[in-house]
Amino acid sequence: MDRRTALKQMFIVAGGIMIATSCDFSSKAPTIQLNKLKLNLDDEQMLAELVEAIIPKTDSPGAKEVNLHLFVMKMLDDCTSPEDQHKFTDGLKAASKLKGKTLEEQQAYLKALPEDDVFFKILKRRTVQGYKNSEYVMKNKLVYELVPGRYNGAAKIDA
C-alpha cells in the first residue's frame, strides 16, 4: 500500500467519524434540527397538541395536519431571544400536564393564561403566522391575481 492511498483512507475514516458523532440517533430527538433551543420529542408532541388547540381541524386541515408545530419550533429557535426561549420552554413544561387531555381542556387551559404571558403570545403569534403562510392557505384559500390584474375596458367611471 502506498502512502497516498493510506492518507486518503485515513481522511475518509476521520470524516465518517466526525459526521457520525454529530448525529443524534436517540429516540427522544425532535423531528427537525434546532440550533439553540433544547426540545425533545415529548415537547414537540405537546406543542403539536397545543397548536391544534389553537387551530383545530374543521372542514379545513388543522394546525397539526399542516405541521405548524415544526414552524413554531423553528421560528422560536431562529427568531426569538434567549430569554423568551427560556420563558417559552418553561411554559411548555407547565403545559405538559395537558398531554393526552381533550381538545376542550387544552383550549380552556390556553384561554385561562393571561394575555401578556410570553408563552401564550409566542405560541399564538407563530401558529397564526404559520397557518396564514402555509401551503394549504396559499393554494386553496387565497386567490391571487398577478399585477396589474384584469383589463376591463367597459368599466363605468363615476365622475
Q: Are 127 and 68 in contact (CB under 8 A)?
A: yes
The answer to the question of residue 20 being in a domain is no
Instruction: Please count the structural domains in the chain.
Output: 1
Comparing CA positions, the residue from 39, 98, 104 lying closest to residue 74 is: 39
First to last CA, the chain: 92
50-83 pLDDT, tens digit each: 999 999 999 999 999 999 999 999 999 999 999 9
The answer to the question of residue 11 being in a domain is no
Comparing CA positions, the residue from 97, 111, 90 lying closest to residue 46 is: 97
Which residue type does 128 have?
V
The answer to the question of residue 12 being in a domain is no
The answer to the question of residue 112 being in a domain is yes
The answer to the question of residue 159 being in a domain is no
Burial of 97 (0-12, 13-18, 19+ CB in 10 A): exposed
8-23 pLDDT, tens digit each: 888 888 887 877 666 6
Statement: residue 127 has pLDDT above 90: yes
- Rounded to two decimals, the pTM is 0.72
The answer to the question of residue 158 being in a domain is no
Residue 88 — very low, low, confident or very high, per pLDDT cuts 50/70/90? very high
As a whole number, mean pLDDT of residues 120-145 equals 91
pLDDT for res 27: 65
The answer to the question of residue 148 being in a domain is no
Containing domain of residue 89, as a range? 25-141
